[in-house]
Amino acid sequence: MLNKKIRVLIIDDMALVRDILAAGLAKDPDIEVVGTAADPYIAADKIPKLTPDVLTLDVEMPRMDGVEFLRKLMPQYPLPVVMVSSLTEKGQRITLDALQAGAVDFVHKPSSNIDRGLNAMMMELRTKIKIASIANVSHWKSSEKRSAIASNIDHSKALAKSTDKIIVIGASTGGTEAIRSVITEFPPLMPGIVIVQHMPAGFTKMFSERLNTQAQMEVREACDGDRIITGRVLIAPGGKHMRIIRSGGIYQVSVSDGPQVNGHCPSVEVLMQSAATHVGNNAIGIMLTGMGGDGADGMKAMRDVGARTLAQDESTCVVFGMPKVAWEKGGAEKLVPLQNIPEATMQLLEQMK
């Protein structure tokens, strides 16, 4: 049990949902529901008075949707927010907007088998509220602007020599924004990139499609047998593991069902162990923000066979979990602020033969 209860404010336009969420959260001795609000305008009045540690926020509301509220809230009063979203395509799209606007994580409202689905959702929500309570969202404050270290280095020669290299990225809580900020900085002829971001099925496809419109590289949700080639980013589909395999002189991904590893499917551990086995010292491993330690042993295995590795530093992580464990276990060579990871990756490519 935590020393201090986590103070939660529930924001949802439906009274029944507010009651269900309040009752479900009250079952956890570490959580205290300090209030509810029927819309963001009421919530904005209550936040300074109730001083919640975490907000739960409905994605779709009539007077102001959750995303618009986040865009107004986070620069002024950054708070960890867990979105409660529907599984509809519109709900998924708005949830991704919300993550981009500063939400820490999200849960789905059950769409079928309501009783069983509700219990599972409440268990997930209680867990994600606890994770959110330790999340670092201070960088959303408008006064804190992070800037990357400018680089005047011409990386074209390194890229020309790196066609057989593969970059492997793992992320969880806070990862969608971290991945976006890294991938959009990479040039179009970057070596092939494979990514595991802890996300449910459906969301990874939409996340990939959105990132494809923002990046210079081609980004897509991975399909079994896809080739890993220069200029392409493959994101593991939610609910499936992704491994790197080598067939003759080409690298491909194997995408398959399987049990959770370290509590996750897809798992960073599975991907990084496959990189250690099949890519060896031609790989670069990058561990971004996330709760827990998924992938730490895999990154250590990569480093042990000569791969280069780095992890996001504590000051720029939403949750300094996966990078911390990777660092402590000797998997990560160094800790790097998020805004400097693209340049640090380019420098590693320069150093690789």
Do 38 and 114 share a structural domain?
Answer: yes
Residue 317 inside a domain? The answer is yes
Instruction: Find the mean pLDDT for residues 273-283.
Output: 97
Burial of 89 (0-12, 13-18, 19+ CB in 10 A): exposed
Active site residues: 172, 198, 294
Q: How far apart are CA 81 and CA 334, in angstroms?
A: 30
Residue 293 inside a domain? The answer is yes
Do 170 and 126 share a structural domain?
Answer: no
Task: Write down the pLDDT at residue 109.
Answer: 83
CATH classification of the domain holding 223: 3.40.50.180
Between 140 and 184, the higher pLDDT residue: 184
Task: Write down the pLDDT at residue 113.
Answer: 67
Do 307 and 194 share a structural domain?
Answer: yes
CATH classification of the domain holding 65: 3.40.50.2300
Task: Write down the pLDDT at residue 163.
Answer: 64
Burial of 114 (0-12, 13-18, 19+ CB in 10 A): exposed
Do 104 and 33 share a structural domain?
Answer: yes
Task: Write down the pLDDT at residue 139.
Answer: 86
Overall size of the chain counted in residues: 353
Q: Which of 80, 107, 139 is the last residue of a domain?
A: 139
pTM of the model: 0.91
Instruction: Find the mean pLDDT for residues 251-265.
Output: 97
* Average pLDDT value for the chain: 91
Q: How far apart are CA 10 and CA 122, in angstroms?
A: 13
Do 116 and 176 share a structural domain?
Answer: no
Q: Which of 87, 105, 139 is the last residue of a domain?
A: 139
**In terms of residue numbers, what domain contains 52?**
6-139
Q: Which of 149, 152, 140, 180 is nearest to 337 (CA)?
A: 149
3-class state of residue 5 by DSSP: coil
Q: Which of 142, 152, 161, 129 is nearest to 2 (CA)?
A: 129
Do 217 and 182 share a structural domain?
Answer: yes
Residue 16 inside a domain? The answer is yes
Number of domains in the chain: 2
Q: In this structure, how many other beta carbons lie within 10 angstroms of the beta carbon of residue 160?
A: 10
What is the identity of the amino acid at 25?
L
